[in-house]
Every structure is written in C-alpha cells, then in structure tokens.
Amino acid sequence: MNEHSLLAPLLMETLLTDTTSTDQVCMQLALQLAYLAAQAGEVPVGAIVVKDGVIIGRGSNAPIGTHDPTAHAEISAMRDAAQHLGNYRLVNCTLYVTLEPCAMCAGAIQHARIAKLVYGASDPKTGACGSVINLMAEPKLNHHTEMIGGVLATECGMVLSAFFKQRRQNKNQ
C-alpha cells in the first residue's frame, strides 16, 4: 500500500498535465517491475493496474520462483488490484503490461472487465492480442477491452532481449 501511495502523486500530476504521455509514464513504471523480475531470474515482464490516476495493482513475472504457471505479471497485478478494491471486477481500470498478453492473461483481462489494455512489445510466439491470435477482437466474446499496443515497445523489447542474451552467455560459460 505504501508503495502505491508513493507513486500515486507523481502519476496523478502527469495525468493532469499531459494526457498524451500518461501511457508512457505508466509503461515506465511497468518496466521497473520488469527489471525486478529480471533481477530475480524471471523473464522480465512487468504490469500495473491504474484506476483514477492511482496505481492499485503491481505485478512482476514470477512463475519460476513461485512454482506457479499462472504467475504472469498481468495476473499478479490484477490480483493485487482486486484485493485493493475488494472486488473481482476491475471496472474502469487500465492495465499496463510491458509484453503483449498471452491467451491466459487475455482471458483474465476480460473476466476482470478491464476497460483498457496498454501493452509494450509484441509477442510473436504467444501474443493473444493480435500477434498469434486476437482474443480482444473476438466478436463472440462479450466483453471488449479497449487496446493500445506498442507503447515504449523498443524499451520493453530491449529488456527481454538483454535478459535472454545474458542467459545464453551464462549457459555458455
């Protein structure tokens, strides 16, 4: 909670002064959580949930350390936000994530009724928001989340490529 409120004034100020860069500011904060994942030896993906200019959920990718295949950054951030709100539906919330969500996360985003999804880098291997399939645009699914991709895509992708490069080097030593 304290961490949330520390970041909130900065974010609120940005939201009030320049709406065009709000997505980039929020993605920077998600990137910080991706760096935390990398430090823990996890594939670096980070996510935050924002409601009314306040961060209410944060998540770092952590399936290895938690022995939990569902511990993707988006799921953790949405769990955190749902606990904060005391509600399983995250109405009027925006989810920022550094990598295009997979099918599991895209499904959870729809179950949570996330209003808007903003992601950074595309994921040509498991991306379910346009790269492999697009669950967000499936007319047979009844909830439709507004979606923006490619925000700070270069930075978000570089964190991942640097991580995998380092891991390859470590294996070759």
For binding to Zn ion (CB under 5 A), which residues are involved?
72, 102, 104-105
Residues 71 and 113: their CA atoms lie apart, in Å, by 19
Say whether 159 sits in a helix, a strand or coil: helix
Q: Is the separation of the CB atoms in 110 and 143 below 8 Å?
A: yes
Residue with Cβ nearer Zn ion (25 or 104):
104
Residue with Cβ nearer Zn ion (58 or 72):
72
Q: Is the dihedral of CA 34, 38, 44, 49 positive or negative?
A: negative
Clarify whether 74 is annotated catalytic: yes
The least distance separating Zn ion from the CB of residue 104, rounded to whole angstroms, comes to: 5
Residue with Cβ nearer Zn ion (22 or 122):
122
Catalytic residue from among 3, 13, 74, 155: 74
The least distance separating Zn ion from the CB of residue 60, rounded to whole angstroms, comes to: 13
Closest CA to 13 of 50, 45, 54, 41: 54
The least distance separating Zn ion from the CB of residue 45, rounded to whole angstroms, comes to: 8
Residues designated catalytic: 74
